[in-house]
Every structure is written in structure tokens, then in C-alpha cells.
Chains A and B, each alone.
Chain A
Amino acid sequence: MINRRSTLKSMALGAVSTLAIAAVGIASAQAENKELKIGFVGVTSGPAAAWGTSNVRSMQTRAAWLNETGGVKIGNDTYNINIVTFDDQKDPKRAIAGMEKMAQEGIHYVVGPNVDDGAAAVRPVAEANGIIYFPYAFPKALYQKPASNAVLGMIANYQSGPAIYKYLKENKGVKKIAFVAANESDPLSQRDSGVEAAKALGLEVVAQNDTYQNDTRDFTPVLTPIVALKPDLLVLSGVAPANAPLLIRAARELGYEGLISTETAQDAKVLEEGAGEYANGFISVGGASTPEIASDEMKEFVTRYTKMFGEYNDESNTKVYALEYILDTLKANPAAINDVAEFKKTMDSFSAPNPFLKGDAKLSYVGATSFGQKRQLSVPMVVNEYKDGAFQTLFVGSVD
């Protein structure tokens, strides 16, 4: 006899069966692809969260895109990309713990850390466990022999700085230059190499010892004595995106009329909100999304990133590259998937189309001039000028 209770029971059983069949179907479809874990160890919390967050979100966006379109074919297998993340909180001790976690998970390719001391701290762990890592940190010792497992993920300031100062000297008549940096290892080392490059170009360095605590909120006292020196160019060495608009605004409000630049990547929205029209003319180093050079694939990446996380971060213009390099190198030599020695062999001759730039741009490993071996991603050195809420390309350089 059919009653209400048995009808409900039948419907519930039917629903459960349908769900189970669907789940098995989905699982079997996913099971067709193998899983390739790529690690991220970097800072995604605290004052420098913007650096690592733009990193990891770039990886997650690209991985989701690749997985959605069927995965990545490496050799005879197709892989879904799984990004394994670890927040090192900008603490070298935690960075080591993060790299150890990656080793325990059998991961051989890790993006990060984001800062000098973290990148130096993880080196022994990476080398002992066969991990190639892609820091966003500049100490040359990480990339010069005998080191061989670190690959610089961006343009170093000692590569972009001289090019920027030379351009500004020749095109904007810069003669006097002042440096200001946060009292931390990355900005200080960037300042020192910037001072060296400026002196080599014959510029007069009028300030080079001025520093600030990275958590400074009001930069007027820091900049008051520097502005009084009337430099033609004020360099914000290694400035964090959170501090750049505050420094620019304080300098302009104090009456500074010269140029302001940095060698780190910045975000246009942050500059617009924090400094408004004071940020016009601010020069920084970007990547591949200015309209002049971005490919359709780069534009789609920006759209997907925005859809996934609500808002794009212009720092990702540079950080979009690391995962692409890892995957394309593995495609070029599938034996490298579990053997970083094979990866290193491939790096010397590797070349693939750059999907993020218009034209015939190539992905390749560089760094022979700076490090004596190819331990750097060839990322376009796009020097931008901020203007009314967006970056405009000032000039594009490259590193060999």
C-alpha cells in the first residue's frame, strides 16, 4: 500500500541514489587526471600580506583555469594542478617549516618566499629535499654557484634600478637623487645597490641613510629633512605597496615637486585611494598587463582573477609567471616531474611562447650576466608611470 510515508521514503532513496551516481561520475571524471602539487611558501598575513597574496592568488587563478580546461598534459599524463599553500608570516623560521611541509608532501616545485631572509633560510631545506624554489628576493648568493635550486621570480632592483635612473637622467634631467628605505633587510639591500648604481651613473646622492620602521603610518617626520634637500628624484627603495601611497602623499604635501620612483611592483588602485592625484608621475616596475603589451590571455587572466577574488592586484602582472614557467619546463622535459636535476638541465635551453605578452615574446631562463648561471625567470621589465588611476608603460627593458 502506498502511503505518504513510503512515498517520502522512496523519494529520499531516489535522491540519494541519484546523488551517489552523480558523485561517482564526477569522481571518475576527475580520476582521469593525475594530480600535480605545486607549493607556495610566502607571506599572506600581516603588513606585507599583499606581496604573498598576489602571488598565491595568481597561482590559484591560473591553476583553476588550467584545471577547468582539462588540465595540463605533461608527457603521457594529464594533470590537475593543486596549489599547496603555506603562510610564513614573513618569518624565516616559519618559512623553513613551510618548506619542510612541502618536502613532506613530496612537492618538488615551490613558489616563494617573498623576502630575502625567508629565501635564504629555506635554502638548506630545499637543497636537501630536491626542491626548486622561486623566491621574490634579491640576494645574489641565492642564485650564484654553488647554490642551484633557487630561481629568481622577478626583475631584481639592481637590474631595473640602473635602467630607471639612466632613463630619468637622460630624459628628465635628474641630477640629484635621494633614497629612503624601510629598516628591513630587503629594502636596505635594495637601497644600497641603488646608491651604488646612482653613483656609477654620476648622480649626486643627497640622502642615503634615511630609514623608517615598516609599520610607520605617518611619514611626514621621515620625509621633512629629505624634502628640504630638494632632490630631483626620490627613490622609495623596496617600498611595500601599503607604504608607497603614504610616502608619496607626505612628500607632495611637504611641497616636494621632483620625481618619485621605486623598483618594486605596485597596485594602481592602492595608489589612487591612498595618494590620489599626488601619485601621478610615480614610476614603478610592473609586468605584463598594461594595455600596450598585454595579450588576450593576460586580459582573460585578469578577468578570471577578478571574478575569483573580487579585485585584481597589479602586482600579479609579475607574479603570473612562476607557475607558467614551472609547467612549461615540465612539459619540455616530463622526466623533471620528480627529478629536479632534469629540470635544471632543461633550464639552460628552455624556450616557450610567452602567453601573457602580445607578439613573439618567449619564456626563457636568464640571469647569466648577474649570477653566472641561468637562475632567473625572463620577465619583461616594464617600467610604468602612474597616471590618474592606471599605469602607463614608460619603457620596456629586458635582462640577459
Chain B
Amino acid sequence: MEQVIANGLYLGAQYALIALGLTLIFALMNVLNFAHGQMYVLGGFITYTVYGQLGLPFVVALLASGVTLAVIGALMEKFLFRTVIRRSHREESTMLLAAATAFFFDAVILLLFGEKQRGVPKIVKGVFNDVGIIMPYDRIVVGALAIVFIAAFVLYMQYSRVGRAMRALAQDRVAAQLMGVRVDRYSMIGFAMGAMLAGVVGGLLVTITGVNSGIGGPISIKAFLMVMIGGAGVVGGAIAGGFILGMMESVGLTVLREYGDVTYLVIFAALMVFLSIRPNGLMGKPWG
């Protein structure tokens, strides 16, 4: 059982970090970024190229992933989403745009990096094997880094000037604007941060799970699941959603293994019941 809990906690930390960027963008702009998974994949491939192919230090690769995705996110907000939000009166327009960018990224990533699964050398070798728990050291490092990143993000959002401005935007866009918050600027920073988080997680996890051009869609779906569990647009909700999903997956795959692949069936069924009782998730707020 110790192993199952350890697996669940590790998965939870990993999932929570994946969901953070998605929920940030949703909170700020009410945009469901369908391209979140593709951004994760792109971050993974950048780390693969810089660390795995060019042989530069892993930290440099991680920075390259984060910075590249931040720039891409900022450009997407400025030239795509801002324009559509300004011109369209229908919320679906941003969803369609997000879906289109997801397909676009899928095609570009496939062209640039090919169809093969890619991986990089382990950042830390060896396996921890004690007190009934087996956990490779690289997973422990990645899990710890994920928790550090999550904590840094929460603190930044809580105490920095930019974080306060973004929270104000998330709470009430019009009121924030009336109070002098530069909506366009902070929306762009928020989108860039969300994209950067996706890129950093992709870079971080390429050391554990590798990356391939086709996993963007499934990653996005998992991120949506976490956000729905925790509550769309709430940072704490995304973190809670990540840990809940990670633990459900780990426990389900052990307890229900004799019944075939019913773990996700059970998770989806539980989610449907849960959302019918709490449509805004654990900590979510109603929109509209």
C-alpha cells in the first residue's frame, strides 16, 4: 500500500503542475486552452533537443523550454486571442481558436520533430528502495521540483504585484480595469505564464516519460479533468484536482486490476456524479 500511495503522490504532483497553466489562462481570460497539451509537448521537445541532442545542461534546456513557450504564449495572446475576444461576442470563438491552434501545433511538431517517441538521459540515476517503497531518484527529484514550482507559483500569485493584478483580473475583469489594472498587459503576461508552465512541465517530464508528437491531445484532456475536479480558474482547485486524479489512478490501477481497464471508467463515472452535485468543482466559481 505504501507503494500505491507513493505512486499516487508522485502522479499528483506531476498532474497538478500540468493543470496549473491551464487553469491560470482560464481564470484570466475565460479561455479553455485546448493547445495546452501541445505546448507541453513542444516544451518536451525543446528540452530533448537542447539537453538530449546538443548536450547542454538540463537547467539550460528547462529555461529554453520555459522562455520559448512564454514567448509563444505572449504572441498567441497578443495576435490571436486578444483580437478574437475583442471582435467576437460569442465565447465559442475563443474555444474554436484554441482548438485550431492545437491542431496547428500538432502538425508543426510532427513536421519538426517526427513521429518517434523521444527520451533523454536520466538526470539522476539510482532507485530508492526502502520502507516498502520503490521510487527512482529522478522521480523523487522531479516530484520535489514540481512541488517547489507549485509553491513558487502560488507565492508569486499571492504576493507579487503582477500576481495581485492577475488575481484582480480573474475576480472581476471590468472592476480591475476601472481600478487601473492594464488588462491587455496582464492578460498577455498571464497567457505567457500559463504557456511557460506547460513548457517547463514538458521539459521536466521528458526525463521521466519522454515525449512524442501525438500526446498533446491526451495531456490536454487529463488537464481538463483535473481542472473540472478542482474547479475551473482556481489555482488551489487545479492543485487539488491533480492530486485527487493521481491518487485515484494509482489506487484504481491496483485495486481494480483484476477487472480489466475499468479505472478510468470509474473515474469518469465518479466525475459525472460529482459534477452533477458540484458543477463548479471543489473550489470553482460560477462564470457568466
Residues of A within 8 A of B (CB): 44-50, 53-54, 183, 209-213, 215, 217-218, 220-222, 224-225, 241-243, 245-246, 253-255, 267, 269-270, 273-276, 310-311, 313
**B122–A217 contact, CB under 8 A?**
no
* Chain A residues in 8 Å Cβ range of B117: 50, 241-243, 245-246, 270, 273-274
**B261–A221 contact, CB under 8 A?**
no
**B114–A224 contact, CB under 8 A?**
no
Q: Find A270's partner among B10, B116, B208, B253 (CB 8 Å cutoff).
A: B116
**A49–B7 contact, CB under 8 A?**
no
- Bound CA span A340–B259, Å: 45
Nearest-CB distance from A219 to chain B (Å)?
Answer: 9
**A276–B214 contact, CB under 8 A?**
no
**B115–A220 contact, CB under 8 A?**
no
Nearest-CB distance from B114 to chain A (Å)?
Answer: 7
Closest residue of chain B to A90, judged by CB? B214
Known: A218-B14, A310-B114. A47 touches B7 (CB 8 A): no
**Chain B contact residue count (CB 8 A cutoff):** 46
**B261–A311 contact, CB under 8 A?**
no
**A209–B259 contact, CB under 8 A?**
yes
B254 adjacent to chain A (CB < 8 Å): yes
- Bound CA span A2–B250, Å: 85
Closest residue of chain A to B3, judged by CB? A224
Given A45-B106, A222-B253, 7 more contacts at CB 8 Å? A47-B212, A49-B214, A183-B261, A212-B261, A221-B249, A242-B210, A245-B117
**A48–B214 contact, CB under 8 A?**
yes
**B110–A225 contact, CB under 8 A?**
no
**A50–B254 contact, CB under 8 A?**
no
Q: Find A311's partner among B106, B116, B134, B212 (CB 8 Å cutoff).
A: B116
**A311–B118 contact, CB under 8 A?**
no
Known: A45-B110, A209-B260, A254-B134. A215 touches B215 (CB 8 A): yes
B119 adjacent to chain A (CB < 8 Å): yes
Known: A45-B214, A274-B210. A211 touches B119 (CB 8 A): no
Closest residue of chain A to B256, judged by CB? A209
* Chain B residues in 8 Å Cβ range of A253: 127, 134, 136
Nearest-CB distance from B58 to chain A (Å)?
Answer: 15
**A213–B257 contact, CB under 8 A?**
no
The 0/1 profile, CB within 8 Å of A marked 1, for residues 138-157 of chain B is: 01000000000000000000
Closest residue of chain B to A220, judged by CB? B7
Known: A225-B257, A246-B209. A47 touches B116 (CB 8 A): no
**B115–A49 contact, CB under 8 A?**
yes
Known: A45-B110, A215-B218, A255-B134. A209 touches B129 (CB 8 A): no
* Chain B residues in 8 Å Cβ range of A224: 3-4, 7, 253-254
**B261–A46 contact, CB under 8 A?**
no
B52 adjacent to chain A (CB < 8 Å): yes
- Bound CA span A137–B279, Å: 42
